[in-house]
Amino acid sequence: MQRTRPALLVAIALFSLAPLARAQHPMPPAGRPLHVRIADADVVAVATIGTIDEGRIEVRDANVLRGTAPKNFAIKRSPAQPPPFVTGVPAVLLLRGARPPYVLVDEPREVIVPSDAVTAQRWSEALRALFDAGDDPEKLLHTYLLWLDGDDETLREAAGAAFADPRAPFLPLGAEDAVERARAAIDPRRATANRRISALLAATHPAGADALLAGVPGPAEDPQVVATALRATPTAPRESREAALLRALANDQPEVRRAALLSAPLLWNDAVAAKVAEIAKSDPDAGVRAEANDATSRGGMK
């Protein structure tokens, strides 16, 4: 069995999750991976934002982590695309230039603004770990996984952006990492973004896809994890996908049943058709009943 190609995985996942977007929190927005942006930077620092003028931002108390820069310096500010800086707050600065005023590498949506001094220090330590990983795919992978599994939301978002890149050198995952991600995806103690990203990562290897399908729907299941398990594992045995689908169709949560109904036409057989018909007739949720009727129409066309 071949591994699922990362680009195909992302395309399938986005398609499967789109109908749920209005009802569920979205995946973290994907900017350019941080290690790619760092490669474009001459200076990397964590500093406090000072005075902000029309075309210039003063920076003070810089902790320069890579490159050479003074403790206090200026960066250019584009009035057309200003970064989301506020005087007195810390910021992670990826900069181009041999001397001040530097130019930001990041686009405004990519700028990292830690919430406080403690988080800024955490980012300093995280960046050093990323520097140590260099361009080693295995080290990069496990650095980002530590961020994904941690409790800092900004680091988790950075990990999510790296994992969303179809060109990432560490994708697809190996069997051991993929199975571990499947366990994370069905763990209700994990943050929502962690579980959703973990489901996508699990599906990049057949062993992870099998483990993910075997575990859904788990306790306090996330509908998007269910959707990913059913739609982003096309190389998994059909029997495993059908069994997971039938379990999800019988789940207590209306949104889990709805996620399953979106995938039902892809796995249509007599057992699925009978369960969908039952839902269309007697499900207590009117929206789920409507979705079941739609699934019946689409499944009957196969």
Question: If residue 45 lies in a helix (H) or strand (E), which one and from where to where?
Answer: strand 43-52
In angstroms, rounded to a whole number, what is the distance separating the alpha carbons of residues 244 and 246? Answer: 6
From the CB of residue 220, how many other CB atoms can be counted at a distance below 10 Å?
12
DSSP per position, 213-251: HHH-S-TT--HHHHHHHHHS-TTS-HHHHHHHHHHHHT-
State the Cα angle at 230 between 29 and 205, rounded to 5°.
75
Amino acid 30: pLDDT? 54
* pLDDT, position 235: 84
Adjacency order of strands within the sheet including 73-76: 73-76, 56-66, 43-52, 90-96, 103-104
**276 close to 258: Cβ distance less than 8 angstroms:** no
Specify the pLDDT at position 219.
83
Task: Write out the chain's pLDDT in tens, 302 residues.
Answer: 344 444 445 444 544 454 444 444 434 445 799 999 999 999 999 999 999 999 999 999 999 999 999 999 999 999 889 999 999 999 999 999 999 999 999 999 999 999 999 999 999 999 999 999 999 999 999 999 999 999 999 999 999 999 999 889 999 999 999 999 999 999 999 999 999 999 999 999 999 999 999 999 988 889 999 999 999 888 889 999 999 999 999 999 999 999 999 999 999 999 999 999 999 999 999 999 999 999 999 886 65
Tokens 């009943």 correspond to what residue?
Answer: 289
Domains of the chain (ranges, CATH numbers): 6-27+164-300 (no CATH), 34-114 (2.40.50.120)
Chain centre to alpha carbon of residue 100:
35
- Look at residue 221 in the predicted model and tell me its pLDDT: 86
What type of residue is 15?
Answer: F
Reduce the DSSP state of residue 171 to 3 states and report it. Answer: coil
- What pLDDT does residue 126 have? 97
